[in-house]
Amino acid sequence: MADFLQILITAIAVGSLYALIALGYTMVYGILKFINFAHSDIFVLGAWTSLTASVCVITWLKLDTQQPPLWLAPVVLLCAMVVCGGVAFLVERLAYKPLRKSARLNVLITAIGVSLLLQNVGQLPGFTAAEKDGRSLATVPFGPSPSRMPSLLPDTSLISVPFPSGDPTIPAASVQVNLVDVFIFVSAMVLMFGLQHLVYRTKLGAAMRAVSFNTETASLMGVPVDRVMSFTFVTGAVLAAAAGFLYALKYPGLNQPAHEIWVLLGLKAFVAAVVGGIGNVRGAVLGGFLIALIEFMGMYLFSKYLDPLMGTNMGTNLRDVYVFSVLIVVLLVKPSGLLGTPVREKV
Amino acid sequence: MPEAANILELRDISVKYGAIRAINNVSFSVKRGEILTLIGCNGAGKTTTLRAISSMVRVSGDVTFNGSSTAGERPETLVRRGLCHCPEGRGIFANMSVEENLSLGAFTRNDRDAIESDRQRVFTLFPRIKERLKQNAGTLSGGEQQMLAIGRALLSRPQLLLLDEPSLGLAPQLVQTIFRIIREINQQGVSILLVEQNAHMALQVAHTAVVLETGGVAMQGPASDLARSDAVRKAYLGH
């Protein structure tokens, strides 16, 4: 029971990350009608920018590495959002905007190109910033080797529920709700509700939905289509940056930017968007949590019940299989995704 | 800026789709305050002419709206200048509520009080719209969608309204209503360029008519004269 709940908590935290990334995929698809394959690289950039920003700020201000002040986390988050938003703005302006009127396939291939570009730029070696008197100030950790994110949040558990095992020979287990998990969940929720408000309650959001439904008619209403598209793109990237930051908090050992683990993470978020119904904001959130639940519950249940039966030890290794099986099932049974209902229009 | 007598002037405009010339050297002008109807068969170039006016297609020749050229403008900037295009097939945002559709019509405006009074004006013209405010626009009937499309267009406070086949697919009774409302809107001071296949109704409501044939202007003049002309009667009125 205790381990089940513990895994559930992790699944919810990771699910919020999937949901944040999936939102970017789904928004860009909804408005620009293409899958932005470079989206997961923006997420990676978010994680790495967070790392760079926190290391730089800590060294410049000579902060305590073990227990940095609490204000550092929001500052670093803001840095990641600004950097990723800026990069996304440039990517959109330079790579996608010139292709607005060309075939979808061209944009799709360009997106793959942008993804490769970002991955490989991420491999460039880090640099050392020097102070005036020649002393090295900070080595900016950016580049081909894995690195470690300083812990910005105290490693405390907020709630600890003991579960007596009922057997005196087995020590009592307990369920820990860690600060980092709560922080991830709450931040993700705030961002998602913010987005929900933006899309469904503001004039700009109405314009976004109008562009998504019919670009041409939206322009006849006076909606500045190009600007709405850029804005949507940047918003998606900012959410991915936040996800990258939160990911780095939870899993501080950051792999190099082109590592396959990042690609897989991005792919899973993409699966979440498709499962929820691509183009649907609420669907992306639902898909994100669902995918994480299935991934973690799959690992838990398989290792607990099937592995002992078959004498194997592969429950954890199959984690990607659970996710992509869901994708296959959804594509077979309800290709428009869980919340994606084809809109019927009377003529 | 002095008010030009003609709200819209087209001088030798041509539009090409690839190698095909959709319209060729079309010239006519819409006088301020009038209803001009553009009639013609399928493929005569009526919709293309409207798309050329609102800068949705690349056009050669001069389009002058309200005294200045539309060259280099985009549809969204023309809306701000007072030109509103109600597209063929109504262009309703079916996934949004009627209310949201209406507020998108006022997208370019920030004057809340004036928008509200314009909304009330739309509700007097179309009481049905008011009843359906919270409903999804995709669930409206064809006639209601057309009313919504026109109401939404009015919320941009246009000086010139381009209407593309507002009677398409509507029951005869509804067609009557729509045309009555078009006249009302015009009497409130909006110039209207009306594209229609229903030449009979269009010639009744319009002041001036232009007949398009295979991409060029075949005839133009006062609507009542054209309604009496033998050529028009044979080709478009069926008697």
Residue A55 exposure: Cα atoms within 13 Å on the Cβ side? 21
Residue A171 has pLDDT above 90, yes or no: no
pLDDT at residue A130 greater than cutoff 80: no
DSSP state of A344: P
Band (A279; pLDDT cuts 50, 70, 90): confident
Number of domains in chain A: 1
pLDDT band per the 50, 70, 90 thresholds, residue B32: very high
Residues of A in contact with B152 (CB under 8 A): 221
B residues 18-47 lying closer than 8 A (beta carbon) to A = none
How confident is the prediction for chain A on average, in pLDDT?
88
Task: Give me the domains of chain B, ranges plus CATH numbers.
Answer: 6-91+158-237 (3.40.50.300)
CA distance B167 to B156: 21
Q: How far apart are CA A117 and CA B229, in angstroms?
A: 67
CA angle, residues A276, A281, A284, in degrees to nearest 5: 35
Residue A261 to residue A239: CA distance in whole angstroms: 20
Q: Tell me whether residue A345 is in a domain.
A: no
Question: How many Cβ contacts (< 8 angstroms) between chains A and B?
Answer: 81
C-alpha A245/C-alpha A51 separation (Å) is 8
The pLDDT confidence band at residue A255, using thresholds 50, 70 and 90, is confident
Burial B62-77 (b: 16+ CB within 10 A, else e): ebbbbeeebeebbbbb
Interface mutation vs chain B, best among A201, A209, A221, most B CBs within 10 Å: A221
Residue A176: its H or E element: strand A173-178
**Do the Cβ atoms of A271 and A326 come closer than 8 Å?**
yes
pLDDT tens-place string over residues B179-199 = 999 999 999 999 999 999 889
With cut-offs at 50, 70 and 90, classify the pLDDT of residue A345.
very low
- What number is the average pLDDT over the span B7-14? 95
Mean pLDDT over each residue of chain B, to the nearest integer: 92
Spatial distance between the Cα atoms of A124 and A258, rounded to a whole number of angstroms? 11
In a domain? residue A168: no
pLDDT number for residue B169: 86
Kindly report which listed range (A132-141, A284-293, B200-209, B223-232) carries the lowest average pLDDT score.
A132-141
Q: Which of A193, A341, A345, A34 is closest to B101 using CA atoms?
A: A345
pLDDT in tens, B128-160: 999 999 999 999 999 999 999 999 999 999 999
Q: Would you say residue A340 lies in a domain?
A: no
For residue A341, the distance in angstroms to the closest alpha carbon of chain B comes to: 10
- Using the Cβ of B171 and the Cβ atoms of chain A, whether some distance falls under 8 Å is answered with no
Cβ atoms of residues B174 and B143 within 8 Å: yes
Give residue-wise pLDDT tens across range B79-132. 999 999 999 888 999 989 999 999 999 999 999 999 999 999 999 999 999 999
In a domain? residue A166: no
| Contacts A223 to B, Cβ<8 Å | 76, 104, 107
Strand-by-strand arrangement of the B208-213 sheet: B83-86, B160-164, B191-196, B35-40, B208-213, B216-222
CATH code of the domain covering residue A281: 1.10.3470
Q: Which domain holds residue A20?
A: 2-159+175-333
Percent of chain A with pLDDT strictly greater than 70 = 92
pLDDT band at A322 (very low <50, low <70, confident <90, very high): very high
* Residue A347 belongs to some domain of the structure: no
Among A160-169, A176-185, B19-28, B211-220, name the one with the lowest average pLDDT.
Answer: A160-169
